[in-house]
Amino acid sequence: MAEPIRDVTIIGGGPAGLYSAFYAGLRGMDARLVEAREELGGKLCLFREKMIWDAGGQPPLQGETFRKQLVEQGKTFDPEVLTGTKIAAIRKNGQGLFEAEDHRGQVHLSKSIIMANGGGIVTPQKLRLQGAAVAEMDNLHYTMPSLATFTGKTVLISGGGDAAVDWAEELSGIAEKVILVHRRDNFCAHEAQVEKVKRSGADILLNVAIHRLLADKTKTRIEMVELKDTETGALTRVGADHVVVSHGYERDAELGFEADLEPLRKDGHFFEGSADAATSVPGIFAAGDCLSYAGKVNLLVGAFQDAVNAVNRAKAFVDPGAHDRGMVSSHNERFKERNRTLIRELADKVKQ
């Protein structure tokens, strides 16, 4: 079966990529969305329990709820969605089509490309301990599960950045005891958050690092954590019901471009572009964290604006006669029947 030729291939299934898929459908484009992870959502997958306050028109809601809503919206116009698929190379063929080759050697054809790959494939840094397999236990966490998990428990958090400090402060009102350990003598988190955690009642241990994890009789759960003083080398042990490791992230941003096809970069990673999402290569556009330009807004709302601009530019590239922007949803033909259905459903609910 021949590989279908799409109007646009969107690389990255985070907020910018998902909104690009939605808006491409709204503009009548046949889109393909490719995500390296098995799950859509990008960084939101790492912060499922965090509350999001700065999305327009949305009440405060948890990251996981917002992720699910974005995924549902991104699939509105039935784009081709490929998860667990890492794009390894981008080139052009003799017909002027873009070829995005994935890690399996499969080539995906399209008339344009939108890069929405953020900072690359982001994976939490794992503990580097002797006998690494021992460290994979049921109560060891690299991303935050439901906060209810920690109710009335002793939680040890390792890390000195914003995420570690934020979690220590937030869990202090949920867990029975919070122990925050950091291998240096001061935190690299924002000073306002550091002051909050100091007032929270959490036990703060500086110049201390996790040396060893000691399992219980089942060998599946951590029972004790052995800590090492980074200055004196002294070892101490503390009991913990849960251990949360927040040591930053590893990024896999490897993606090769054919000669003369790679967009200009800033700081070795970001695509140097314009406020209307263009890169230095015709037909390749960018949205979200991977795009850099003067006046860039590094928030979710900025990712959505980038996505709209990237799709509008891609639409004009694929169809030079198209309008330079899409219609508002209240006037868009693609929503008329959907709106009627929603109105009927709302009317039925009122009757009930």
Kindly state whether residues 10 and 111 are assigned to the same domain. Answer: yes
Q: Which of 26-30, 141-145, 163-167 has the lowest mean pLDDT?
A: 141-145
Q: What is the pLDDT of residue 1?
A: 55
Domain range enclosing 155: 133-247
Kindly state whether residues 239 and 151 are assigned to the same domain. Answer: yes
Q: Is 289 annotated as a binding residue?
A: yes
- Given 209, 226, 247, the domain boundary residue is 247
Q: Is 266 annotated as a binding residue?
A: no
| Residue 112 domain-assigned (yes or no) | yes
The rounded distance, in Å, linking the Cα atoms of 216 and 241 is 11
Kindly state whether residues 20 and 110 are assigned to the same domain. Answer: yes
Contact (CB, 8 A) for 167 and 250 = no
Higher-confidence residue of 163 and 119: namely 163
Give the mean model confidence (pLDDT) for residues 190-205: 91
Q: What is the pLDDT of residue 209?
A: 93
- Does the pLDDT of residue 254 top 70, yes or no? no
Give the mean model confidence (pLDDT) for residues 88-97: 94
Kindly state whether residues 298 and 218 are assigned to the same domain. Answer: no
Kindly state whether residues 140 and 289 are assigned to the same domain. Answer: no
Contact (CB, 8 A) for 155 and 147 = no
- Given 190, 220, 247, the domain boundary residue is 247
Kindly state whether residues 203 and 285 are assigned to the same domain. Answer: no
Kindly state whether residues 227 and 288 are assigned to the same domain. Answer: no
- Given 247, 274, 298, the domain boundary residue is 247
Q: Is 126 annotated as a binding residue?
A: no
Kindly state whether residues 205 and 276 are assigned to the same domain. Answer: no
Closest CA to 203 of 183, 181, 226, 174: 181
Report pTM. Answer: 0.74
Give the pLDDT band of residue 132 (cuts 50, 70, 90). very low
Give the mean model confidence (pLDDT) for residues 139-159: 89
Q: Is 43 annotated as a binding residue?
A: yes
| Residue 352 domain-assigned (yes or no) | no
CATH of the domain at 228: 3.50.50.60
Tally the residues of the chain.
Answer: 352
Pick the most confident of 55-59, 177-181, 220-224, 260-264: 177-181
- Does the pLDDT of residue 71 top 70, yes or no? yes
Place of tokens 């955690």: 197
| Residue 128 domain-assigned (yes or no) | no
Q: Is 330 annotated as a binding residue?
A: yes
Number of independent structural domains in the chain: 2
Kindly state whether residues 140 and 243 are assigned to the same domain. Answer: yes
Kindly state whether residues 117 and 254 are assigned to the same domain. Answer: yes
Kindly state whether residues 116 and 255 are assigned to the same domain. Answer: yes
Cα-trace Rg, the chain: 24
Q: What is the pLDDT of residue 273?
A: 94
The rounded distance, in Å, linking the Cα atoms of 131 and 165 is 28
Q: Is 35 annotated as a binding residue?
A: yes
| Residue 286 domain-assigned (yes or no) | yes
